[in-house]
Amino acid sequence: MAAPKRPLEGDSAGRPAKKAKPAHANAPASEKAASKPKVQGGVPSLKPAFLQKKTKAADSESKGDAGAQKRKSLLVADDIDFPRGGGTELTAHEVREARQEAKSEMRAETEKEKASASRKRRLSAKGAIESRAEASGTRVEHLNYKRLQVGTKLLGRIAAIYPLHLVLSLPDQLAGHVPITHITSQLTAQLEKEEATPSASGSEDEEEDPMAAPELNTIFRVGQYVTASVTVVRSAGTRTTLDLGKPRSDMEAMARRVELTLVPEVVNEGVVVKDVVPGFMISGAIKGVEDHGYSIDVGIHSLSGFLPFTNTPNPEERLSIGHLLSCSVAKLGENRRVCTLSTLPEKSHKVISEVSNVVSVLPGTLVRGLVTASAPSGLNVQILGFFDGTIELTHLPKEPAAYTVGSKLKARVLWHLPGSSPPKFALSAMPHVVRLEAPMIDGTQLQEMYTYGMIVHGVRVVRVEAEWSLLVELEDGTRGFVHIGQIADEHIPALSPTSGAWKVGTTHEARVLGFYGLDGLLQLSLKPSVLARKFLQTGDFQAGEIVKGTIQRLTDVGMFVDVGGNISGRVAPDHYADIILKHPEKRYRSGASVKCRILAVDPEHGKLSLTCKKSLLNSDLPIIAKIEDAKPDMIADAVVFKLLSSGALIMFYGRVKGFIPLREASETYVKSIEDVLRIGQTVKVKVLSVNAEAGNVLASIRQTLTGYHPATPPVDDITVGSTVQGEIIATIEDARPDIGANAMPSNSTAKDAAPPPTLQLPGGFQWSNAAAEAEDEEMGSVVSEAESRAPESQPKKRKKKGTQIEEDLTLSMQERAPESVGDFERLLLGSPNSSFLWIQFMSFYLQLSEIDKAREIARRALNVINFREEQEKLNVWIALLNLENTAGTDETLEKIFLEAARANDSKTMHLRLATIFDESRKLEKAEEMHKRAVKKFSQSSKVWTLFGQHYMSHGKLEEARDLLPRSLKSLEKRKHIKTILKFALMEYELGDPERGKTLFEAIVDSHAKRLDLWFVYADMEAKQGDLQAARKLFDRMLTIKLNTFRAKSVFKKWLELEKRLGDEEGQELVKARAVEWMQNNS
């Protein structure tokens, strides 16, 4: 009898299985295949996952060709598929591995559950009392960056003021920044106007120009309290849209995360006019200056403010439009459209008792709170009758337990989370916040008493936030804040208030790292590495100190070394060693330790300049770190940083500069400084003299060498009549030139010879000696006249030669011009620094057509003239340029010009060469030189104005006028007025006076209080002969609001003009107007 067939699916009784649709029935075929478990004999595989992977690979190999093997039937009846009492085809080893894997997973799951339970117990122990307080009131919570939202309004305290932004200290140890475009709408409009209309700005005297945008440091002061609103909250490490430069402190870096605005329209948004009552604190911006006060924009629709001058701390001071003020309402008009404001400090301490809308409760509002609950983390209070608020522990002057339920206290609103229901307010009852003052300890500001980097002892822990921080107290009662990352060098996951090294009541040593201005807390660190650190900021370093650091990286611009505390310095390539290293990467590798000496410190930009030269590291000579350290006869180390034809420029520590003349560079004669010195070389020098005003030192290498003896003994003890002894070291024959042979040229030479070429110099020098030529012509005429009369006047009897007296011509040598090389050499021995003599010497050779010798004289002059005589050297350079312009080629002129530009001020040399081309009528070259100067020195007003003068003087008026708008795009705004004024004067003198008048009208219209501009305008009109127009200008000046002193200067200038160009009637009219003005304004 055949055995019954086994059912495909179902139980052992042969009952059909339920036709339940599998979860992946609707899935694609590939997903179905992937979702099905592996089957062996019609049942799911019992193998664990790690063995199924192996089986999968084996199965794929076993399938092979679909036509070669038959598909296994599910009807195969093998007893092993249905083992009695359970069975598997796994080996014993595979079973042990499966069990071991299951045990490991079970242990991991158990450990995870234990950790979670421990965390829950710790959090429950921490917040047990807080939970009870939350059940009875509002939970006291900290403000953090995650809770900040766009639109959150906060009370802030200004911690730092920079040209483009403010840094604010915010509640709960937070910080934010306010860009200059988020101060007031009026200030932003002024900045945009200045950017779009350059002629409306650029005043050199900002106080005299009420239309100019004020600087931030004139609007705010450090420590001032302001109300701000959050506009952007960035994640850590995100850069701001504005280029604010490198953060100068940790607080500023932290402040970059939060961007705030102080604009009254945003901060006061939603305030109900009904709630604006006397004593209400509100911020406003000056939008206009009236006769008796300021018109204030408070940012509230249908309400404007007026601030009388008498309601300001300094009634005589006049503030600019765009100025932001923190005001209190003194009086509200009957129609509730205008409110009178006050900025007096005593007016800001009035308590507000009620408001009709929660939006009217602004940060900084002084209220009286009713304590409704107390917890270790702070207080719950009720303000303004029905609003809930919290006071965090750091903003309570006493412990929370000292306040009983039902007691009252004064507090100021710190922040309000928008959209919170019910409304949540955080307040501060600290005395310095209530009074809007700086935190004080015994009459001294807290920040001044505890300076940055100061180590304090006896710091006691008073509160522990398990995963955040420690709240500590110093011996004098000052409170501090220690972040969990500043407690120890190793990572601390959590803190315990009852156990561990930092539990409540323990005392420690700490270091001051900063100051939270609004909270009145010191930022402290307990880390041993911070306590042991010698330097915390760049300003702690001193030039000349030896430090050890770690090499960070080696680049083309130098080697960067970490000297500790996230402070790095740079070693320039020429300071790697005493010799030039061809492969510095072989000597200095990243991560290696290196010993350096500090060359210079720049605290403002946080930069250190270091050196690795062994000669400087091992030197025991005195350190010259500032000009006051340099004393005559002192021997110190220096480094050569530039070589000149006349000597070498050296650098001491602290960037103190010095100069070594060529004659002091070596004990032997050297033709060129490059023969004995190189850039980057360390030298030992002796200080010869110190120029404290110029900040430079004259030094010598020669006098530090062994065996040096001064050529001239000291003469301090020698007086007139003293007897001295000497030794003859050489004899010199009389080399006095024959004065008689060359004193008077012959008559034919004086009259028939062609005049020598003459070169004009901008400085006023001439190549040819005009005085000597005039004297020669005069003497020649005298000789000719004497010869013509000789036959008539010749005596018949000859006198004896013995009776003739020879005239001593040596006395006249000082009175006449030099006529030979010997004369010039004699005069130059007495005056080696006289550029006039050197240029005359060059002219002497030029008259003889000795161009090369004239060049040699110029080179010699540049080497001999003392380096302090900069103007004398400049004269010689200009003379040499004149020489090459007249007798040289374009190539030699360009070479001399480039050399002169390196040795002198480059801009000066460009303009001088352009002037030389102008005077020699080489107009194309002059224009090209002006273009080069404008391209290289586009920030110089003088370059643009001289270029315009060049065009106008040669009739190119349109080209000159096109330069004005181009210059205003390149120049700084403070130079705009000066540039426009110059072009206006050029129009009066060389162009169209009407265009000049138009330019002046634009200037005086935008800068009405600049009397100096008015005076120049009047002078130019008077020079044109239009006296009546000048009188009208003085009449317009008197319409401006002037004080007595300024009015007196107007009348004085007017009277001088009438005396010079007018008549008696005009003078009397001026005097009458002066009397009338005094009567009307007294």
What pLDDT, in 10s, does the model give residues 818-837?
778 888 888 888 888 889 98
Q: Is the pLDDT of residue 816 over 80?
A: no
Domain housing 47: 29-62+73-90
Does a cis peptide bond (omega within 30 degrees of 0) precede residue 422?
Answer: yes
Q: Residue 420 domain-assigned? A: yes
Closest CA to 394 of 462, 450, 440, 446: 462
- Asked if residue 443 and residue 403 are part of one domain, the reply reads no
Quickly state the pLDDT bin for 713 (edges 50, 70, 90): low
| Section 119-143 average pLDDT | 59
List pLDDT tens digits, range 634-691: 999 999 999 998 899 999 999 999 999 998 888 888 888 888 898 989 999 999 999 8
**Range in 317-331, 408-422, 861-875 the model is least confident about:** 408-422
Question: What whole-number distance in Å separates Cα of residue 407 and Cα of residue 372?
Answer: 8
Residue 263 CB: number of other CB atoms within 10 A?
25
pLDDT in tens, 995-1044: 888 888 888 888 888 888 888 988 888 888 888 888 888 888 888 888 88
- The average pLDDT across 424-444 equals 88
Cα-based distances in Å from 171 to 48, 69, 469, 605: 57, 78, 15, 29
Instruction: Give the model's pLDDT for residue 241.
Output: 65
13: in domain? no
- Kindly calculate the radius of gyration of the chain based on its CA atoms and give it in whole angstroms: 46
810 pLDDT band, cuts 50/70/90, is: very low
Mark whether 413 and 477 lie in a shared domain: no
- Indicate the length of the chain as a whole number: 1082
> What distance in Å separates the CA atoms of residue 1004 and residue 1013, rounded to the nearest whole number?
7
Whether residues 191 and 324 share a domain: the answer is yes
**Distance in angstroms between the alpha carbons of the first and the last residue of the chain:** 141
Range ranked top by mean pLDDT from 48-52, 227-231, 582-586, 766-770: 227-231
536 pLDDT band (50/70/90 cuts)?
confident
pLDDT band per the 50, 70, 90 thresholds, residue 781:
very low
> In this structure, is residue 171 part of a structural domain?
yes
362 shares its domain with 418:
yes
409 and 454 belong to one structural domain: no
Mean pLDDT of 17-24: 44
**pLDDT > 60? residue 603:** yes
In the prediction, which pLDDT does 712 show? 55
Residue among 261, 339, 263, 337 at smallest CA distance from 301: 337
Which whole number is the average pLDDT over 219-240? 86
Using an 8 Å Cβ cutoff, are 558 and 568 in contact? no
* 841 occurs within a structural domain: no
Count of domains forming the chain = 5
Indicate the angle between helix axes 906-919 and 941-953, nearest 10 degrees.
10
For 855-881, give one letter per residue: b (16+ CB within 10 A) or e: bebbeebbebbebeeeebbbbbbbbbb
Residues 288 and 221 in one domain: yes
Of 384, 410, 432, which closes a domain?
Answer: 432
Label residue 57 exposed, middle or buried (CB < 10 Å: 0-12, 13-18, 19+): exposed
Tell me which of 184-188, 243-247, 575-579, 952-956 is least confident. Answer: 243-247
| pLDDT above 50: residue 732 | no
CA distance 471 to 482: 6
**Do both 651 and 527 map to the same domain?**
no
pTM, rounded to two decimals: 0.52
Instruction: Yes or no: say if 912 and 878 are a contact pair by the CB < 8 Å rule.
Output: yes
pLDDT tens-digit map of 274-304 = 888 888 989 999 999 888 899 999 998 889 9
What are the distances in angstroms from CA 120 to CA 114, 117, 123, 126?
A: 10, 5, 5, 10
For the chain, percent of residues with pLDDT exceeding 70: 77
Query: Are residues 379 and 265 located together in one domain of the fold?
Result: yes
What tokens does 870 get?
A: 């900069």
Distance CA 277, CA 329 (A): 7
Q: Is residue 400 part of a domain?
A: yes
Q: Is 940 domain-assigned?
A: no
Q: Using CB atoms within 10 A of its CB, is residue 112 exposed (0-12), middle (13-18) or buried (19+)?
A: exposed
Residue 644, helix vs strand vs coil: strand
Indicate whether 190 and 55 sit together in one domain: no
pLDDT band at 727 (very low <50, low <70, confident <90, very high): low
**Mean pLDDT of the residues in the chain:** 78
Q: Please indicate, yes or no, whether residues 389 and 332 belong to a single structural domain of this protein.
A: yes
**Same domain, yes or no, for 358 and 451?**
no
For residue 606, tell me if it sits in a domain.
yes
Cβ-proximal residues to 299 (8 Å cutoff; 6+ apart), any chain: 263, 264, 265, 266, 267, 268, 269, 283, 284, 285
In angstroms, the Cα distances linking 965 to 86, 192, 213, 971, 1037 are 98, 18, 22, 10, 28
What is the CB-side half-sphere exposure of residue 663 using CA atoms within 13 A?
A: 6
- Residues 631, 975: Cα–Cα separation, whole Å: 41
Query: Are residues 252 and 304 located together in one domain of the fold?
Result: yes
Confidence of residue 482 (pLDDT cuts 50, 70, 90): very high
Residue 934 is assigned to a structural domain of this protein:
no
pLDDT tier at 115, thresholds 50, 70, 90: confident
**Residue 37: pLDDT over 50:** no
CATH code of the domain containing 600:
2.40.50.140
Lowest mean pLDDT among 17-21, 881-885, 933-937, 942-946: 17-21
pLDDT of residue 45: 45
User: Which residues are 553's β-sheet partners?
Assistant: 560
